[in-house]
Each structure stands twice: as C-alpha cells, then as structure tokens.
Amino acid sequence: MPRVPLLPEHPEDPAAAALFERVRAARGPDFHLPHLYRVLGSAPELFRGWLDFAWPLRLNAKTPRLLRELMILRGAQLSGTAYEWAHHLPMATEAGVSEAQIDALAHWRDSDLFDADARAVLQLAEEVTRGPSASAATVAQLRARGFDDAAVVELVLTASFYVCVSRFLQSMDVELEPGYEAYRARM
C-alpha cells in the first residue's frame, strides 16, 4: 500500500488535474496514469518539475535510447525496484534491447551480447547506482567511446535520475499496476 494515497485519475485539485491532463494529451486520452504519477500528483509543483525533467531526458536526449534503457534496467536490478523494471522493460524492448540481452543483463560482464558502448554505460549505471559517483576511469571510457560532453551529461543524469526514481518508489511503497506483474519475474 503506498505511503501516500493514490490520487484518482481525475482529481479535484485543479493543479494536479491539469498535470494529469497534460500527461493524457501527450500519451492519449485513454492512457491510465501510472501509480507513480498518481502519488507524485499530491505535490503538483514538484510533479510539474518531474515531468519537465524526466520527459526530455527520456524523449529528447541525443544518446541512443537503447543505451539509456539498458542503464535504467540495470539500475532497477541493482536497487531491487520491480516497479521501475516493469515499466521500463517494454520501453527497453521498443528501443531495441533484445530478449537475450535482458536475460543476460545481471551478468553483462560475462556476456558477448553487449558491445563496447553498452559495457561503458552499464559500468556507469552500476557505479552511480551503488554510489557515491561515477569514477574518472568510467567517464574516460565513455569519452574514449566517442561520447562528447553533452552525451556524458545525459548519461550521468539518466543514471542519477533513475536512482532518484528508484529511491522514491521504494520509500513511497508504490505498487505495480495490474498487468505489470509478469515483467517483474524477469528481473
């Protein structure tokens, strides 16, 4: 049970209602708001900031979405955040992460399914998730792989933001929505 009640899909608070409508406008009128958003809606100004940060990071970044989704999934594995894993697994497959890569992700170092770019970002994800920060060697490896300043910022922000997401989900005990349980088993 979440530690803050889920707002209804159509809340009375006008600020929360406007944000929920913003999400529906972007995702479609029949889109059911994830439990995460229905918890965040209790603090509309912060939820607005969340959307303004998270959506460009997810949708407008210049680094390959496949690499960022690999990082998010690995961070979810390391932190044990089933909600994050379940929501990003379909996004990862849509971005081109293979079923074999998903199955091998926990042991990526021992697998030949991950190219040098994927290995560099997975190392980054592990360091940022485990903390306290990315090592100079890992950032140097990203640069050696051709990632420029903007790409390094995007990748570090992606890893860092999803650590925040993970901690929030766990701290608020946000439950998976019906239909997502099957994804949890692959974690």
Whether residues 178 and 157 fall in one domain: yes
Whether residues 79 and 137 fall in one domain: yes
- Contacts (Cβ under 8 Å, ≥6 apart) of 115: none
Provide the pLDDT for residue 147. 98
10-residue mean pLDDT series, the chain (187 residues):
92 98 93 96 98 94 98 98 97 98 98 98 98 97 98 98 98 94 85
Provide the pLDDT for residue 25. 95
Provide the pLDDT for residue 80. 97
Buried b / exposed e across 79-113, counting CB within 10 Å, b at 16+? bebbbbbbbbbeebeeeebeeebbebbeebeeeee
Provide the pLDDT for residue 72. 98
Specify the pTM.
Answer: 0.95
**Helix or strand run (H / E) with residue 119:** helix 116-130
Count the domains in the chain. 2
Whether residues 98 and 171 fall in one domain: yes
The CATH number assigned to the domain holding 94 equals 1.20.1290.10
Provide the pLDDT for residue 42. 98
- Boundaries of domain holding 97: 65-184
Provide the pLDDT for residue 182. 85
pLDDT tens for 65-112 read: 999 999 999 999 999 999 999 999 999 999 999 999 999 999 999 999
The answer to whether residue 5 is domain-embedded is no
Please check whether residue 67 is in contact with residue 123, taking contact to mean a CB–CB distance below 8 angstroms.
no
Provide the pLDDT for residue 138. 98
Provide the pLDDT for residue 185. 82
Provide the pLDDT for residue 172. 98
Provide the pLDDT for residue 177. 94
